[in-house]
Amino acid sequence: MKFSSSLLVAASVATLATAAGSTSKPKNYIFFLPDGYGPASETFARDFANYKSNNTNMLPVDELAIGYVRTFATDTLVTDSAAAATAYACGKKTYNGAIGVDDNYKPLGTILEAAKLDGFMTGLVVTSRITHASPAGFATHTYFRDLESDIADQLVGYTHPLGRVVDVMMGGGRCFFLPQSDEESCREDDVDLWSIAHDKYNWTMTTEREKFDELDNGLAEDIPLPFAFIPNLDHMMYEVDRESSLEPSLTEMAITTLNLFDRLTKDSDKGFFLFIEASRIDHAGHAHDPIGHVHDILEYNRAMQAIVQWINDGHSDTALLSGADHECGGLTMGVPDYAWYPEVLDVARNTAGIYAQQFETFNETANATETDKMKYLKEQIFEAYGIKNATKEEIEGYFTADSAEIYLGEVLSARAGINWSTLGHTAVDITLFGHGINTHNMIGSWENGEVGQFMANQLGLNVANVTKILQANESFVQAIGPDAEGKKLIKRYRLQHDHEHLHEGAFHKH
Amino acid sequence: MKFSSSLLVAASVATLATAAGSTSKPKNYIFFLPDGYGPASETFARDFANYKSNNTNMLPVDELAIGYVRTFATDTLVTDSAAAATAYACGKKTYNGAIGVDDNYKPLGTILEAAKLDGFMTGLVVTSRITHASPAGFATHTYFRDLESDIADQLVGYTHPLGRVVDVMMGGGRCFFLPQSDEESCREDDVDLWSIAHDKYNWTMTTEREKFDELDNGLAEDIPLPFAFIPNLDHMMYEVDRESSLEPSLTEMAITTLNLFDRLTKDSDKGFFLFIEASRIDHAGHAHDPIGHVHDILEYNRAMQAIVQWINDGHSDTALLSGADHECGGLTMGVPDYAWYPEVLDVARNTAGIYAQQFETFNETANATETDKMKYLKEQIFEAYGIKNATKEEIEGYFTADSAEIYLGEVLSARAGINWSTLGHTAVDITLFGHGINTHNMIGSWENGEVGQFMANQLGLNVANVTKILQANESFVQAIGPDAEGKKLIKRYRLQHDHEHLHEGAFHKH
Ligand SMILES: [Zn+2]
Ligand SMILES: [Zn+2]
Ligand SMILES: [Zn+2]
Ligand SMILES: [Zn+2]
């Protein structure tokens, strides 16, 4: 873990000092959402990083902390990603499950849409499916987050009333772009969105890392926009599991997109709005997997550090705000005995899900005896994941657990002295980070909607006008609202315990 | 719940604006420690206050948030109150259990001692025993927090090598001032510290609220200094249990002391250093009692609001910083199902401990039948505490629980959708609040020791010099260090699960 902390301290202080009293505004805005990153997760990852480096450093984002965000949704005190993304994007709180719509299912203009209409470049760079709630909330509208085919349709411009509003998309979720006849599809219709995007809307649709890498080299006039890099059917891999020959890191995707936008807007008086998400900090929280959680958090920190460096390095007209949508998993450290042991997390080289899959594969080996299997589980799975000298009880529990993945995570967590209280989110305020021009104005405590309002105001955007245009489109309003069945769907979602995790696990069965 | 929020917003913003670039320093410093107040506790109390008032206001302290504090101790990643208080007071991290001493048991000068030596007035105003770890860390020195008789001896000046360093003390813990011959004593010796303090060190030692009230009226020359108001043998009451005829609120104690110091230092170029603690937010966290927790947090907020008002109202030479020592209880809200219900906490009119005591009394009634007792438990205890229509299982669990108090708290918590993961503390960073001159310099993330260093620097104090004086006193160094038995005591403390709670419960048995 090599973070150049001293550099960041200097930069932050300088920002506060020189920008005080300034009335100039940024040309470009980056909003970076670390999904499911609560206050405990920051201490958690810092303690791990410091165990590794044997010091007491700050994390890069520690240096950028400026305030807190109050995250509750309109229907409950614990928000989901959809309601929170909508609040950040539209400046208005809504109900859990809502994508760019208000409590009455009416569309709300987003900061990204307003930027696009005003001549800015726009981008969504995430590690979840690109159709997942957080990116969806910035560029699409529907009464329920699970309607990811509809979200994909809007993302490419196919059914979006404003036409195409996104210039660059990077993330997973290709299955929602394939017609149901394709065995890799998650759609329930015959729309071949991948081809439609390419043919009708001129998208460069690619799954290849080489095509992504070429973005860094091409001349401005060669850049094949709009550009979608969607290498995976489902989410991108967790950082610790990532195969770098197939997938760039979030840091690489973020910086490549920034450089691209910088070249494209250099001679314009309009800049860009870029939404970036470290999406899977949250997924590891739902899965109670400290390994996926800590490594995706550290990658978020690397990306934030790289962006701050990029801003300081000749892009002082770009401002950065970053805040989570909510906490995830109810993480606490020091359970039960005033000590937690980050060293326990320094063994695993993959997430629990990979180890569980690996055992599943071995378990299906025809000629493996019961003894072989138990030995394999203990030595190749438990030991490799960091559960040294697993007890008989720990091993046996694996076979009766609802989820092998979660079981492994919880056993390792217990040994590390950390606890997860829920498979869902919790209500605690999250930390707001900022760097660059005028971000010191966001020191203090804010509603999530106020953060969105601030950014739109800084770019001089009229989001209310976008709302007006969208709501005047009666057929669109009709199309994205719930029928009786849809209202039941939302109600069920609201009542369902730990639904988000179930939702994650269920996605492949269409 | 009537907080004049708009006032505070205006005040905070004004502070940031006008103080920027200023090089002047405060004459007076207040450090206000809300013990065991983690980030989740702030959301928790705000959601409850907003349920009561049917709005979405901020809490008073929300308006004052400027940063956060990294709290780990030198021996574990989860601190106790002793190590944390020492870090704040002395500017240096130490081991859990340490009171004003470093890892080698050597005394460290405190900001309060440095202030006293430099001619400032000094005070400790708390709701725990005045001999408890947090106030002790600011004015005394010993290798282990449980040596509260020794701490009391130093507090009055009896065994403190610098003589008396405290001018005003308010809090509980009178039992440590009484000789063992007194049946109310917690001491294991014959020292009548109450009389010694009065006779040899000129303290006004009082248990009477009337004497406290007189502080507000007397002329400066009539104020009987040094002054100790110690109404209770043990801690002060939780705010929700408080009998106001016997005990003032923390807000009253804080403001009375501020007015007193203000009158006494008006014509001096030296001001005061005041340590205030909302001590029992922590105790309710250890007890998993959401009722004690929420009401002591709201009282902390009232006190903070009153202090900000006091500063704004003609005392702009006073600065305020406030930060917890650590989180307590591993509180999370939204367990298990994305909703938490603050309304469940709006029934109880006392803490769980009071209800448990009440049942104990009824249970010992000679002629009550089993049926009477069950009926009483259900109707007068469970219902009154907020557990409506208690189930058979909930009632039966009461009789097998290790602690009736904790059991009640946990049943109510489960119904409210909140979870406590530990009977001890957790590692999460805590929030730093500030108001007044130069406190904007503390925006961001800090080690707890850095907060102490900043305050000492702001008052122009030389804490290192106090350390030098203390460490040069060989017999004192000898007296406060551990012998072989003492080292075992510290080791046992370090290994003991949930020790702080046990410690709380055990105090009366000497
Ligand atoms: Zn989320
Ligand atoms: Zn989630
Ligand atoms: Zn404490
Ligand atoms: Zn405690």
pLDDT single digits (tens) A42-85: 999 999 999 999 999 999 999 999 999 999 999 999 999 999 99
Q: Is B402 exposed, middle or buried (0-12, 13-18, 19+ CB in 10 A)?
A: exposed
The verdict on a CB contact (< 8 Å) between B428 and A20 is no
The three-class DSSP label of residue B344 is: helix
Mean pLDDT across the stretch B448-467? 98
Chain centroid to CA B463: 23
Task: Give yes or no for a contact between A359 and A408, defined as CB atoms under 8 angstroms apart.
Answer: no
CA dist., res. B320 & res. B433, Å (int): 8
Facing residues of A425 across strands? A328
CA angle centred on B419, ends B414 and B420, rounded to 5°? 125
With cut-offs at 50, 70 and 90, classify the pLDDT of residue B23.
low
What interhelical angle do A352-363 and A404-416 show, nearest 10? 130
pLDDT score, position B495: 76
pLDDT score, position B503: 41
What interhelical angle do A81-90 and A448-458 show, nearest 10? 30
Nearest ligand, measured from the Cα of B504: 4
pLDDT score, position A505: 38
pLDDT score, position B150: 98
In single-letter form, the type of residue at position A70 comes to R
Nearest ligand, measured from the Cα of B329: 4
Nearest ligand, measured from the Cα of B323: 3
Count of beta carbons in the 10 Å neighbourhood of residue A188: 9
pLDDT score, position B256: 97
Task: Give yes or no for a contact between B249 and B299, defined as CB atoms under 8 angstroms apart.
Answer: yes
- Active-site choice (A12, A41, A81, A322): A81
Phi and psi for A416 in degrees, rounded to 5? -85, -10
At B341, list the tokens.
């219900």
Q: How far is B64 from chain A (nearest CA, A)?
A: 7
pLDDT score, position A267: 94
Alpha carbon of B94 to ligand 3 centroid (Å): 14
**Whole-number CA gyration radius for chain A:** 22
The three-class DSSP label of residue B351 is: coil
Nearest C-alpha in A relative to B74? A56
Region class of A290: left (phi > 0), else alpha (psi between -120 and 50), else beta: alpha
The verdict on a CB contact (< 8 Å) between A336 and B424 is yes
Task: Give yes or no for a contact between B437 and B319, defined as CB atoms under 8 angstroms apart.
Answer: yes
Could you tell me which of A144, A131, A430, A397 has the C-alpha nearest to residue B428? A430
At B395, list the tokens.
């009632």
Q: Where in chain B is the domain with CATH 3.40.720.10?
A: 10-333+422-502
At B307, list the tokens.
């202090």
CA dist., res. B175 & res. B182, Å (int): 9
In single-letter form, the type of residue at position A260 comes to L
Question: 3-class secondary structure for A310-357?
Answer: HHHCCCCCEEEEEECCCEECCEEECCCCCCCCHHHHHCCCCCHHHHHH
Count of beta carbons in the 10 Å neighbourhood of residue A286: 27
A433 touches chain B (CB under 8 A): no
Q: What is the pLDDT of residues B100-111, one digit of tens each?
A: 999 999 999 999
CA dist., res. A255 & res. A245, Å (int): 18
Q: Is A11 exposed, middle or buried (0-12, 13-18, 19+ CB in 10 A)?
A: middle
CA dist., res. A338 & res. B423, Å (int): 9
Phi and psi for A182 in degrees, rounded to 5? -80, 130
Nearest C-alpha in A relative to B423? A336
At A12, list the tokens.
């932050």
Chain A positions in Cβ-Cβ contact with residue B68 (cut-off 8 Å): 39, 65, 431
Low-confidence ranges of chain A (pLDDT < 50): 1-21, 497-510
pLDDT score, position A359: 97
CA dist., res. A63 & res. A49, Å (int): 15
The verdict on a CB contact (< 8 Å) between B63 and A444 is yes
pLDDT score, position B25: 96
Task: Give yes or no for a contact between A498 and A423, defined as CB atoms under 8 angstroms apart.
Answer: yes
In single-letter form, the type of residue at position B8 comes to L
pLDDT score, position A4: 42
At B301, list the tokens.
């907020």
Interface of A with B in 318-377 (CB under 8 A): 327, 330, 332-340, 342
Q: What is the pLDDT of residues A235-245, one digit of tens each?
A: 999 999 999 99
In single-letter form, the type of residue at position B302 comes to R
Q: Which alpha helices (DSSP H) does B68-147 contain, by range?
A: 81-90, 111-117, 133-139
pLDDT score, position B219: 61
Task: Give yes or no for a contact between B405 and B289, defined as CB atoms under 8 angstroms apart.
Answer: yes
CA dist., res. A132 & res. A147, Å (int): 9
At A504, list the tokens.
């994650």
At B21, list the tokens.
């670039």
The verdict on a CB contact (< 8 Å) between A43 and B336 is no
The kind and range of the H/E element at B333 are strand B331-333
pLDDT score, position A223: 75
Chain A positions in Cβ-Cβ contact with residue B496 (cut-off 8 Å): 337
pLDDT score, position A219: 61
At B297, list the tokens.
């947090």
Q: Confirm whether B81 is a catalytic residue.
A: yes
Q: What is the pLDDT of residues B261-273, one digit of tens each?
A: 999 999 999 999 9
Q: pTM of this prediction?
A: 0.94
Could you tell me which of A119, A65, A163, A199 has the C-alpha nearest to residue A461? A119
What interhelical angle do B5-19 and B290-312 show, nearest 10? 50
CA dist., res. B371 & res. B393, Å (int): 16
Chain B positions in Cβ-Cβ contact with residue A337 (cut-off 8 Å): 424, 495-498
The three-class DSSP label of residue B293 is: helix
CA dist., res. A198 & res. A184, Å (int): 19
CA angle centred on B504, ends B501 and B507, rounded to 5°? 145
Does B71 score more than 80 pLDDT? Answer: yes
Mutation choice for A interface testing from B22, B47, B77, B447 by most A CBs within 10 A = B77
Task: Give yes or no for a contact between B57 and B49, defined as CB atoms under 8 angstroms apart.
Answer: yes
Facing residues of B204 across strands? B227
At B354, list the tokens.
């009071």
Q: If you count them, how many residues does chain B have?
A: 510
Q: Which CATH superfamily is domain A10-333+422-502 in?
A: Alkaline Phosphatase, subunit A (3.40.720.10)
CA angle centred on B384, ends B382 and B385, rounded to 5°? 65
Which CA distances in Å does B381 have to B142, B403, B505?
Answer: 42, 15, 21
B339 closest CB neighbour out of A43, A68, A77? A77
Higher pLDDT, A498 or B93: B93
Q: Which DSSP letter does residue B343 get?
A: G
Q: How far is B93 from chain A (nearest CA, A)?
A: 12
Does B1 score more than 60 pLDDT? Answer: no
Checking B389-395 for CB contacts under 8 A at 24+ apart, the result is none
Chain B positions in Cβ-Cβ contact with residue A39 (cut-off 8 Å): 38-39, 68, 428-429
A299 touches chain B (CB under 8 A): no
A424 touches chain B (CB under 8 A): yes
B338 closest CB neighbour out of A76, A332, A340? A76
Which CA distances in Å does A382 have to A222, A358, A374, A398, A478?
Answer: 50, 11, 10, 10, 52
Q: How far is A446 from chain B (nearest CA, A)?
A: 9
With cut-offs at 50, 70 and 90, classify the pLDDT of residue B499.
very low
Count of beta carbons in the 10 Å neighbourhood of residue B367: 5
Mean pLDDT across the stretch B491-501? 64
